[in-house]
């Protein structure tokens, strides 16, 4: 019997573990996808971790889940919630959250966001995930831990639950992440799994997992004919800390390249890794603090935690009722804070956040329509909208989504459980216990290499299916280079300065050669989990270099918005600049070679031919100089024609130079 592979939804607010196709040989009903529960019948594990102080010199107790959440107001500084929003991010990326967090966030290595936990003298908080000991400076010592370490405790709790429920040790899992998580955030998720003793065999985007959970037999099917027709489905995933939307083509088995499995093909994806139910809670807390005449920087961690818990309760109640009451005691004040909050008031407060989700939906639809347009430019209609994530229970959210897509949202599966169930379906495919689904995911943003002049040569475009592989040939820009530096960028703009640097590496030890002669083959590979690896080889010398690109932080919402917005607003100028930069690089090589050959073999040319070459070279040098000063000084078409004139006029020089070289040899 194969080892089970479970599916895990590592959520911002709650996490779950599910399994499908297990145990092998059991009945179909027993092997159906299901969320695993604890001894008390609870499915969800609140994504909350508390580090208790040591007792009698023993390591500190780590409390995970319901108890940590319920007692958070009693231990505000050592209770860590919503840590997913810090994964792979910097302190600056998380600045908007800090006034509402009861725990301290500090800067760690490489400017990464870390959590500072106050500990008693000599306290250790290991539990097998390397959190270590206090700083030894007596009471009030601080231990800094990474978001990965905190997440590892949540994953370990889910792993232990699965092992107990299945009766065998669980060591492999498919873990879901927001579709817009970048390489750093995906790698951070892998690291958290490893710290928890789990092998993360695949990372799957949350909206895609949700589509797998619903399956082809459910979404948008009304009769036997429709069951055989591909469907276009939107998955709207509004969770506790992140928002994603994906547009998928769901195709019945046997109709795609002869594959028998149902195909789940992602056509486009968009989202915001810093937009979720937490932001709605923060908006309520900001309103309460404003009415108290306070700010987040002025109140104690206990008050922050108390107000956050009250805000979450109000949000949940207003999804079911027209009004909810908040009534909390505020430290240092004799009177309590209490008021009635209506659904209309709440909807007005959260409307800007809901609109941000709709902007992402429009972006994903625009990209998907390009992917599925027919010869007349018409795209297939959206047949169903799947709602995922706890925030989709809010009536305003459902109403706005229905209005935008023109389809009543589909909510047959618990929105909190759909992602975990979908992860379990994918896990069963990888474990070999199911072959009913084939998953075709995409990357969210384009990837490329910086070229001479600061342009970006894109090797893999956004919304390309994964796994993906692309190769491109490059060369040197100056004579006798013995090393070639490569910079990998992510983004939609044409120039490196406008994109996000992912990493740098260098090939060394290349034999000195004239510019343009080395042949550098660069290869990008994105695995099924969306993690990028880059390799390069100089074909003449055989020198190689590789890099697994893991940037320090994830993309902030502002960066994601500006990357796509600016790519459209500046598309014409960017393309012109990229073209001119390439013309400068290639023309410099041409002029350099021609000048050298004129000195060496110019005497073998007819006078009129030599004069034509010199005139064309001189004109091109002026254009190159003007472009180097400012690319806007030149017209790209004029530049290209000048280069073509030099190419045509120098053909005779090429002939005599080759003949002379043959005579010399």
Are 101 and 85 in contact, with CB atoms under 8 Å apart?
no
Q: How many other C-beta atoms lie within 10 A of the C-beta of residue 193?
A: 25
How many angstroms separate the Cα of 433 from the Cα of each of 25, 166, 428, 437? 10, 15, 5, 11
Closest residue by Cα to residue 383 from 264, 224, 229 = 229
Query: In the 8-state DSSP scheme, what is residue 51?
Result: E
Are 616 and 646 in contact, with CB atoms under 8 Å apart?
yes
Strand pairing report for 172-177 and 5-9: parallel
DSSP codes joined into one string, 325-353:
EEEE--TT-SSPEEEEEEHHHHHHHHHHH
Enumerate the active-site residues: 9, 84, 206, 237
Angle between helices 651-664 and 636-649 (to 10 degrees): 40
Are 554 and 88 in contact, with CB atoms under 8 Å apart?
yes
Dihedral angle computed from the Cα positions of residues 597, 601, 607 and 611, in that order, rounded to the nearest 10 degrees:
10
Strand pairing report for 231-238 and 384-388: parallel
Q: Give dist(CA 321, CA 327) in Å, integer.
A: 17
How many angstroms separate the Cα of 312 from the Cα of each of 13, 34, 120, 154, 306? 11, 27, 31, 21, 10
């Amino acid at each position: 019997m194969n080892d089970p592979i479970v599916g895990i939804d590592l959520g911002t607010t709650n996490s779950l573990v599910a399994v499908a196709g297990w145990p092998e040989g059991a009945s179909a009903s027993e092997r159906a996808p299901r969320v695993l529960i604890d001894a008390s019948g609870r499915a969800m594990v609140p994504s909350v971790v508390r580090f208790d102080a040591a007792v009698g010199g023993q390591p500190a107790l780590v409390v995970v889940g319901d108890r940590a959440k319920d007692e958070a107001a009693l231990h505000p500084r050592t209770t860590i919630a919503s840590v997913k929003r810090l994964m792979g991010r910097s302190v600056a990326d998380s600045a908007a959250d800090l006034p509402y967090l009861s725990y301290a966030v500090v800067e760690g290595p490489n400017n990464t966001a870390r959590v500072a936990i106050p500990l008693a003298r000599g306290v250790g908080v290991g539990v097998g995930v390397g959190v270590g000991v206090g700083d030894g400076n007596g009471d009030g010592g601080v231990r800094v831990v990474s978001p990965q370490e905190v997440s590892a405790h949540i994953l370990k709790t889910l792993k232990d639950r699965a092992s107990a429920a299945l009766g065998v040790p669980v060591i492999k899992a498919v873990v879901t992440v927001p579709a817009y998580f970048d390489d750093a955030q995906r790698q951070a998720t892998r690291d958290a799994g490893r710290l928890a003793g789990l092998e993360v065999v695949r990372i799957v985007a949350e909206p895609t997992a949700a589509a797998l959970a619903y399956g082809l037999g459910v979404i948008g099917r009304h009769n036997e004919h429709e069951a055989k027709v591909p469907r276009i489905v939107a998955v709207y995933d509004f969770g506790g800390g992140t928002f994603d939307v994906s547009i998928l083509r769901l195709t019945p088995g046997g109709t795609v390249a002869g594959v028998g499995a149902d195909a789940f093909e992602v056509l486009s994806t968009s989202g915001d890794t810093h937009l979720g139910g937490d932001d709605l809670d923060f908006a309520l807390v900001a309103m309460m603090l404003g009415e108290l005449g306070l700010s987040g920087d002025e109140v104690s961690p206990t008050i922050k935690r108390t107000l956050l818990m009250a805000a979450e309760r109000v949000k949940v109640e207003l999804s079911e009722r027209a009004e909810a009451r908040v009534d909390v005691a505020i430290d240092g004040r004799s009177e309590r804070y209490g008021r009635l909050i209506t659904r209309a008031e709440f909807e007005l407060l959260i409307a800007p956040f809901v609109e941000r989700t709709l902007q992402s939906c429009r972006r994903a639809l625009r990209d998907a329509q390009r992917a599925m347009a027919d010869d007349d430019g018409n795209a297939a209609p959206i047949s169903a909208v799947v709602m995922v994530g706890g925030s989709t229970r809010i009536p305003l959210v459902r109403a706005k989504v229905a209005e935008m897509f023109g389809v009543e949202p589909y909510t047959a599966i618990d929105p909190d459980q759909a992602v975990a169930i979908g992860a379990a379906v994918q896990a069963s495919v990888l474990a070999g216990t199911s072959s009913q689904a084939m998953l075709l995911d995409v990357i969210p943003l384009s990837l490329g290499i910086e070229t001479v002049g600061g342009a970006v040569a894109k090797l893999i475009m956004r919304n390309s299916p994964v796994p993906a592989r692309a190769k491109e040939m490059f060369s040197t820009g100056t004579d006798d280079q013995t090393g070639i530096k490569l910079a990998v960028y992510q983004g939609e703009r044409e120039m490196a300065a406008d994109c996000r640097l992912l990493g740098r590496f260098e090939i060394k030890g290349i034999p000195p050669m004239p510019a343009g002669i080395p042949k550098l083959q660069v290869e990008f590979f994105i695995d099924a989990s969306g993690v990028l690896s880059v390799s390069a080889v100089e074909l003449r010398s055989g020198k190689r270099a590789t890099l697994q690109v893991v940037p320090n932080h994830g993309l902030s919402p502002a960066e994601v918005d500006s990357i796509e917005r600016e790519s459209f607003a500046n598309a014409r100028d960017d393309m012109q600049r990229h073209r001119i930069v390439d013309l400068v690089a290639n023309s410099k090589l041409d002029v350099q070679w021609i000048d050298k050959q004129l000195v060496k073999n110019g005497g073998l040319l007819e006078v009129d031919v030599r004069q034509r070459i010199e005139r064309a070279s001189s004109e091109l040098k002026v254009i190159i100089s003007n472009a180097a000063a400012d690319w806007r000084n030149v017209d790209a078409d004029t530049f290209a024609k000048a280069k073509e004139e030099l190419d045509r006029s120098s053909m005779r020089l090429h002939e005599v130079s080759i003949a002379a070289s043959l005579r010399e040899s």
